[in-house]
Amino acid sequence: MSGPRRRLWAIVVAAALPLPLALWVLAHRRLAADPDLARLLAWAGFLGLLWTLAVGARLDRELVGRARRLAEILATLPAARRRRDRVPAPAAFPLLSDLVAAVHRLVDHLDEVERRAAAAREEATRGLARERSRLAAVIRDLADGLFGCTLDGRIVLYNEAAVRLLGAPPELGLGHSLYALLMRRPILHQLREIERRRARGEGTVGEDFLCAGRDGERLFRCRLALVVEEDGTTQGFVLLLREAGAALAEGSTRDFLDRLETAWRGPLASLRAAAEVLEGELADHPGLHGFARGIVGDAEALEAILHRLADTGRTYVLARWPLQDVRLADVLEAVRDRLAERGVGVSLRDRAPDVWLAADSFVLTELLVSLCTEIDRRRPGAAVEVFARAGEEGVALEIGWDEAEGQAAAWVRAWLEGSLFARPRVEVDELFARHGARPVLMPGTTGGVVLAFTLPPPRALHARRGRTALPPRPEFYDFDIAPRTRPPTADRPLGELACVVFDLETTGLDPERDEIVQIAAVRVLGRRVLRGELFDTLVDPGRPIPPASTRFHGITDEMVRGKPPPAVALQRFHAFCGDRVLVAHNAAFDMAFLRRHEAEAGVRFDQPVLDTLLLAAALDERAEDLALDGLAARLGIDIQGRHTAPGDALATAEILVALLDLLAARGIRTLGEALEACRRMARIRRRTVTPAAGDAGDGRETAP
């Protein structure tokens, strides 16, 4: 007997059995006094028992049996819905008929939900197809070749320019390996370098680098970027490439510099020596002596011109060869990794400060790996020390190891004249020359030998320590952007606005006397926070930053030294904003600082301004905690980088997006309605809220 049936019979017995039992007990007591009544009571008890069994059987058949039948019918519901059949109701039991009617209503509701979901899926599919076709058109028409690859180099995307550049080789195809088309080592080196930069919060896009085709006959100028998912995992990479040029691929830099510097060196030296001898011989002939002196002067002038031409040639070559700013510590870390992969046992000691230089990172790494490998071949387990010194002319590097100069001179010369790569064949000293470097072997100051050379200085300034970057979430395309970026009007729906959400950090809370020390902003398009479009600049306030303010935002006088003044920072911020709607939390405070510098900066912030504090107050006028922290907590928003302008701007942007549906439910759906709500709440709060002190840049209450 099943569980429902047992429970049913237990209920029937518990409800109906006490009556027959009571009748039998009463009959037994009346048997002696009134036998006829006793027999009547006994028969009544017996009939009551039969009635109990009959009712139980009826309920068992009608309720349990038909309920089981209904369960079987409901089990076939998915198939019935596909056939649009109605669910049949078991007959002769009204309770189950009502239940089936409820099921019918539920099925009808599910059908309606399914129709809406199908329509939404169809519209989303059409939209996705449109965006895919537009993106495909953009990729197809790119002048540069493009490859999208998995981390192991399998091609998942390429365009027609890549086919043209590579000449449609048979190895090119979806699912094929990129390394059947291009050299593997430069690409893997760049992947490692970008991962190192990403770990420091410096982005996921690399610098230009050169990579040879698989045949070694052609060079391509490439750039690589990682494809990173929202959870931070790396799914693959995108590679852009273009032809590096025949002159860059085939021309010999060393020969070019040799022609400039040595072709005339011999004749000039002979001419100068002859002129000096002639000058001595003609000392007794004043007229001829002056003529000889003129020849010596001309020879010296020609020699100076030659040196200038050589320097110009080096500048020309360096401009054509893609050098990037690299951190020497990163290069040495890559060298250690490559030596470990090769099983080279030298000990590489780093005595270099945290310096940056301009170099082809892959080539410089391979040069140092090759040099250390040669040292290890002759002196296994030797200690190699790297010294670096940054100067105005560049970064002087010294690679030192323990070996006699006479022993090292021969093999170092052979190494410099040898080839670093088999394909394309490029000699070591030519690679140094392409960096504007001339390696010289000299005795070490404390023994051993040193290979010294100077590499170009970095093209940009690089801080030794930077603030932790907020995780970017780039939004770099939107093909439907045009209708949403027109100048805003009062009837524009809030969900279609193009906004700039910003935040300031200041020296204090008085807009009349204090100054800006940081401006940060992020663009919002519709309901999307474009985290990749972030504006962030420190500002030199022209005065000391009070320690009380520094405790909140962490900005010191040292950090703002040399940064743009407020007027220049506002010009850049105004260009970032364009005509988009401005949004801030307690916007009146921030706008007071901006408007104070408008005349000096030559700009006007005359676009509409929304205040997330006042919008939140419009939703609940009795709310007490409308500070950024409290509002974010109620909306389930995690603030990353609190009390920094970028962190607070991003949090305010997320709050704005979260408020849109809540505002719509209150009838605030357009820009005009939102502005009116802000004005209304500003009037109310001006009467009821007492201005309170807070930290510099947030938590302040100022009348709009």
Summarize pLDDT for 330-356 with one digit per residue, the tens: 888 889 988 988 888 888 888 776 788
**528-538 and 498-506 strand pairing:** unpaired
**Residue 551 shares a structural domain with residue 683:** yes
Element (H, E) at 414: helix 405-417
Does this model's pTM top 0.75? My answer is no
**Residue 498 shares a structural domain with residue 644:** yes
Average pLDDT over residues 565-594: 93
Catalytic residue among 189, 435, 553, 643: 643
Instruction: Indicate the residue among 395, 420, 455 that finishes a domain.
Output: 455
Mean pLDDT of the chain: 78
pLDDT band at residue 473, thresholds of 50, 70 and 90? Answer: very low
Distance CA 43, CA 24 (A): 9
Per-residue pLDDT at 699: 43
**Residue 343 shares a structural domain with residue 390:** yes
Instruction: Indicate the residue among 75, 107, 135 that finishes a domain.
Output: 75
User: Is 553 labeled as catalytic in the residue annotation?
Assistant: no
601-621 residue pLDDT tens: 999 999 999 999 999 999 887
Q: Is residue 289 one of the residues assigned to a domain?
A: yes
Per-residue pLDDT at 270: 64
Q: Is residue 426 one of the residues assigned to a domain?
A: yes
Per-residue pLDDT at 13: 67
**Residue 579 shares a structural domain with residue 605:** yes
Average pLDDT over residues 225-242: 87
Neighbouring C-beta atoms of residue 526, cutoff 10 Å: 18
Average pLDDT over residues 501-508: 94
Domain membership of residue 194 as a residue range: 145-249
Per-residue pLDDT at 560: 92
Cα 330 to chain center, whole Å?
21
Is the pLDDT score of 267 beyond 70?
A: no
Is the pLDDT score of 73 beyond 70?
A: no
For the record, the structure tokens of 155 come out as 């091609």
Instruction: Calculate ∠ Cα 672-495-125, nearest 5°.
Output: 150
Phi, psi of 10 (to 5 degrees): -60, -40
pLDDT band at residue 4, thresholds of 50, 70 and 90? Answer: low
State the total domains in the chain. Answer: 5
pLDDT band at residue 693, thresholds of 50, 70 and 90? Answer: very low
Is the pLDDT score of 668 beyond 70?
A: yes
**Residue 154 shares a structural domain with residue 238:** yes
**Residue 593 shares a structural domain with residue 499:** yes
Per-residue pLDDT at 447: 83
175-223 residue pLDDT tens: 889 998 998 888 999 998 888 888 877 777 887 888 888 777 677 888 9
Distance CA 66, CA 465 (A): 77
Residue 63 gets which letter from DSSP?
Answer: I
Q: Is residue 118 one of the residues assigned to a domain?
A: no
Per-residue pLDDT at 470: 42
